[in-house]
Amino acid sequence: MIKVAIIGGTGVYDPNILNNVYQEEIPTPYGVVKFRVGEFAGEKVAFIPRHGSSHAIPPHLINYRANIWAMKKVGVQSIIATTAVGSLNLTMKPGDFVLVDQFLDFTKNRINTFFDGGTRGVVHVDLTDPYCPVLRDKLSKAAKKANISIHQSGTYVCTEGPRFETPAEIKMFQNMGGDLVGMTNVPEAVLAREAEMCYATVSMVTNFGAGISASPLTHSEVVDTMGANSENIKKLIMAAIEEISIGLEPKECCCHTALAEYGGFKL
Ligand code: HPA
């Protein structure tokens, strides 16, 4: 059984921390999902590079429903996601890690539920804690063990992309309480909760947001900062899998019963 998955964001394409890696292809109602599976710390771990292995899938065209469905189908209970983000908060600097705990959704054209009416019905899922508090706690412990400093909370603003923001938008997001801006955490986090899986995100700040940054933003700046910190990302993910493998006890949190009111999530 594969109980843990890593969804790697920009700059995290390679599951080279895993041993005995093989390719898996899982059909879902939304299309076939190809991903790799390997072993680490006695756990089987699935790895999906969110944008494809060569960054060919833009944020608004990622098949979020297929990815989460496939993970659920192979038995995954806990998903660690990584995201590259711009910062709106001067205390969160390029190179910093943030364990986000809230999001603001500014996406526009994404399907953000498994429940579109019809035979699957309608679900209004609770997101009081949009990221699993238990998994966040494990990531926090993992960071401490790996000697990596990490901001313990932050509000992630999810934009539609694929363009970067205007300085006026960045100012608005700051005024609304946003700390970070990225393009992928919604609907991924929402779908994971609908599928009653634990999901947490480690965001890596790659730049200050448009208008805060002194120069125009470039994708290479994002990729270069991720690359410069790839050893730390790897260390943190390895420590997190170890931490999960110590006590992967589902049902400690609200995630596994998120749809109890509706009779549970069904594939
Ligand atoms: N905006 C949106 N997404 C991002 C950014 C940004 O500044 N940096 C990395 N991902």
Residue 172 is assigned to a structural domain of this protein: yes
Question: How many folded domains does the chain comprise?
Answer: 1
Q: What is the CATH number of the domain that holds 211?
A: 3.40.50.1580
Residue 157 is assigned to a structural domain of this protein: yes
Residue 262 is assigned to a structural domain of this protein: no
Residue 125 is assigned to a structural domain of this protein: yes
Token code pair at residue 62 = 């990622």
Ligand 1 — pocket residues by CB below 6 A? Answer: 84-86, 159, 164-165, 181-183, 206-207, 209, 217, 222
Q: Cα separation of 255 and 68, whole Å?
A: 14
**Residue having the nearest C-alpha atom to atom 7 of ligand 1:** 86
How many A from CA of 181 to the centre of ligand 1? 6
> What totals of helices (H) and strands (E) does the chain contain, helices first?
6, 11
Q: Are 93 and 20 in contact (CB under 8 A)?
A: no
**pLDDT tens digits for range 131-143:** 999 999 999 999 9
Please say if the pLDDT value at position 254 is more than 90.
no
**pLDDT tens digits for range 17-56:** 888 999 999 999 999 999 999 998 888 999 998 888 777 8
- Looking from the CA of residue 209, the nearest atom of ligand 1 is 7
Residue 39 is assigned to a structural domain of this protein: yes
Mapping DSSP to helix (H, G, I), strand (E, B) and coil, where does residue 245 land?
helix
Which residue range is the domain that position 99 belongs to? 4-249
pLDDT value at residue 126: 97
Q: Which of 10, 62, 85 to mutate to test the pocket of ligand 1 (most atoms within 8 A of CB)?
A: 85
Who's near 143: CB < 8 A, 6+ residues apart? 97, 99, 149, 150, 236, 239
99-116 average pLDDT score: 97
In this structure, the number of other CB atoms found within 10 A of the CB of residue 87 comes to 26
Residue 202 is assigned to a structural domain of this protein: yes
Residue 10 is assigned to a structural domain of this protein: yes
The model's pTM is: 0.95
Residue 265 is assigned to a structural domain of this protein: no
In this structure, the number of other CB atoms found within 10 A of the CB of residue 220 comes to 9
The DSSP call for residue 160 is -
How many A from CA of 113 to the centre of ligand 1? 24
Q: Are 38 and 20 in contact (CB under 8 A)?
A: yes
pLDDT value at residue 249: 59
